[in-house]
Structure 1
């Protein structure tokens, strides 16, 4: 038999001892009863017995929850007997406890108790069924649910603090203050259908009614912000109305017949109805089957419901809800909050005689609840000053000091119970929780989309609360970048060995994959990945993200002969598709006679994990490294504890095609192209021709000198001993919504048009200061800023080196001598490669973090003239091997 919920909590350990560790689902039914269609009858049909009675003794409260556990279905069924029951309304006027109160006060008291129970139900239920009796949707349900949602939000912090000390409770239950964002279902009668219609016609009408009622309810719930369909903020809503797993959230059922009819006609209709339903599906609109199927899907497919945090064991449920029930339902300290939410007019009438200082405290609390029930220290001091200011106009001069003392004491005590966590994220967002311990991690409830180092993958990221999580840890999760060549930016490594049990680099979630490889024992082979293999593997990754509707095709910008001369490598059939082992001793370490080209790429290797985690560095070597980005004001000689920049070699230069652009996702249409950059380099003609013949096969390089060009700009001058080479460069911006785009000039997104683009556009861009932040050009991102996140450089197949010297000032008001940089020396990029330099996600310097302004204006700058091209000889040692120059 079903028991009152409080009694069930006491007796459940004895009645259901065999199922104490069984995970359960909770289903609740609320709404109105009628003479012929009651909530208890519906759930009795679901459990298959007359478990619920709905009767209550005269000395017991008529507003209560009735509970029954079904061991077969592992579901706890709850029935709310609320203020809308006839028994409850009749007792309002005979209850001795309510003597001396007016009718409205009695009604407000009953509705307040009903509101507390509905609030409690939405904290512990997985599915809530609402029973409707009329032909039209009653909008009073919307008002009731709005009150419940307001009460839930105002008491959320108190509920979290109540659950936090309970041992062995799930962290998800503690952090969210409830088991789930419950699914909301409605049960309607088919009273508007004639009884003489055929079954097929009734089904057709019932389907139309379901669609009409569902559309109306969905609109009302969304307008009241009670439930939103497929919203990214479902956790902030009271309930979920429709999902993609459980199907229709509404059922049009057939209640018992209530119209008086001729007995002979009823018997005849019943006979034919039974005959028909035996041979046809008759349970499409059956309430019992609908509820059973809903709970069966919830229990079996719970993993598909992101709004269900936990299916607790029966023992855990009883232990936690025993504490939660007393606080939510019976704690008298919450009566004022409930009364102001439910009947603000009555609450105002009862507070006409309160003192002025109490009114000031009430205003302070109201402001706190309007901001989510939490105050930071600055917000507390601001609102306290307003409360004290309101006293000066209403309190006499003699009573003012005492009133100020009382207001300060009351507001401070209230703030200490509703104090917001003062932790601030790296982007300037406050933690959304109250003061908490380490069991709950900081979370500002702000989410952003970010792309990996190489630009192939994109995923959602949490708002980081540390520099390491922002600029390093997040990018270690991408597998597409882990196998690529990367430059090892210098970081602090202690000279002495600190013994530690943690075997990970910087204590990150993934070992470091972009640093110098450790020395192998003498005679042991060292494995490195060939660039052709990396190109082929990454090409497959990028093609999966390619969006045909966003990227169009264009003709080649330069002539085919020169393009082939500068960018083509050996044919695909000749590219090695294997892992090459170095066995020659000369390959193990570069000698002093070698030049740049045979030593630079040897740094772009994979590294074994370091033995010293970042936490150990902070603990033992705090003053020997900097805990911020490399900065011009940083002490000389100190290195950071982890890299905030990334330089990745995606592959060979032929990975980029100027006719189709970058094959990556989420680029603004027409902005996924790099800008061609023509550079004339001072060279020694004899050495140049010799190196070009060595770099290119005899068929690819004819040996003819390139004709002298006309003077166009600083990158295009004419004199004896000049050669023309072609690069591709691109500055990529990205906003928090994941939109990506290149720019053609400072502050202007690229809109690629082969006929309109200027040939020296890239040179002008390099010769100008470029903003770090600019407005995102997407029409759906009004007010959103995009940040400079990547620099793309494609180098030609020629004996030249691209020297990249980056100086970044995210703050427009900073002095020109204060800037961030990735490396003390310019980064030198080898020929015939496609490089991507990833900028930091957040900037932290000696004076603290830089937080972007709350506007979508141009901010910060990348110093101009960050690229220089010089000739660099090719060594004979590199050319002596068929795969020299590739790692």
Structure 2
């Protein structure tokens, strides 16, 4: 096994005193290799191991041929297909971690920069550089590398010379030039076209083309002293292999099959040094340049006239010791360079393009913006800006500048241009500039709503708190209407006994409240012992529900029950007058008659389904208990955000009375059914607004009975059931017109419930029972 080394580990050359004075020729092999090859210029590359440094992305492997006094340097890099495939996953991972992008070009800049640094090192320390191509076509991408490292070489000239001054024994010419000679560049192609009649003619044609390209872009010049490398004017510098790449795995399988045949003979190929070769082989091609280097050196200057005299090109064959010392210094100096932007043409183009488009996209975002705007406007404008940017920006830096555009648009919006956008209880955002939480919100939306009794309509702001929605507005309206002076039934609320009281902190382990029923009077002592006394230090944070803890009452009542006056205020022939009940739609301002059979002797009678009394006739007794029929007028009123009001005749039908006629509908359906909490308002059939159940109307008879109200509202499927009081049904006085106003919003101790079409008022709201004598 030949002993190889990896730059810059050259100690074994420096410590080899026997060979320290040998004058050597340095040959470097650069370029790319095909898949399953791993080696460039196979006739030379066989002296290297294709599995060298598998963990490294880049490496310069060397071998010293003591017999011929030649040092071979072979570059393993990510431009080799095998290495790229092996390290691809780690490169993508690094790409995501470092650059926050999955674009391979973002990490490819580092690959090209490192490869350029390796090339620069080899052009400093080599006599001959062989550029290997896996195909038969010259890769023009190397022109980019040549231009970049030539510019860097000119900038590093003084630093290289200063580093070489510290090495003892190096000639002044080497120090001044920074290298032992201007290296000669040779081109090796692993393949040639399939049909080739004259290989030499093909090689000469390729030489002319390559020479023309390099002269055109001024990589080489007539005076090669200042050039990065030189092209021999009188020797061949292009070699095309006619062997072609060998499939190592396929070759091994075929050899194994042949070797297993009967009478097979194992054929062993001779090594390169002893293998007989034809006239067209790379060994002979390379030996011409090696012999010239040993004899007279390279002088590749091109004279324009035979009378023109030029200074001979500097050329030196260094000793192993001097070369190893200089190589180590140059390697350490060059490989420490930061990212070489000269080779990052894709990135530079991408950066210039993105920097040009970024202000245009930002201007498109800011175009016509108001002084303050919502997140929806921000996101819509940002989408327009990003669409413009993605349509015109290109390259590996697209994601970076795309993120920068998002950040700048976000900063522009957050720099005093945000709206508060706190959602009201009806879902409308606050349209004030962003402010602290202790300031009041305002959505700018206003609704028209009636007061507790329904006799006065006023404008209300979009509420942001349950108290503002269910209590404060109605208190103000009641004072302006005057209905605060009417008879009312007040529901139980929290009554503090101390000055500093707080809302109760509720847990899931709280015992739910016990609601008193109408029959609690049958066992008064037992029921009173089970009901917990209300707290006087803590109040219920939300509204009262069946799942609220016992002993806690709300801070204020979200319901109201007011008596408008005697029952004579309502005329079934005329309905509710517009002057006293504004906002009702035509022919919907009527209450519905409800005939209820009541049994005497203290027996409470509730409405009996399918047992309705006949108007004007005394019902036939079904048992021995005396009974009589009373007529109650009831109504369920709905109100939309524009102040339009109407009654329902059934859960799915609006009450409509023909002009000049009596309402033919009865109140049995609304008394015995669940009523929707929300219903489409008929004020705008094309795009109806949603009306909400806001009031219950009851006109009680003069008969000796108690009409009761027990509203229970479930604002969503599975939601808690909201109550007006824990005391069960509320008894109303006789011969009076009562109106119960329901809450505008429903908020429990855990959450608020927006508009939901499954919300309903549960059946059993209205009741009638005989007054006990």
TM over 0.5: no
Bigger radius of gyration, 1 or 2?
A: 2
Q: Which has the higher helix share?
A: 1
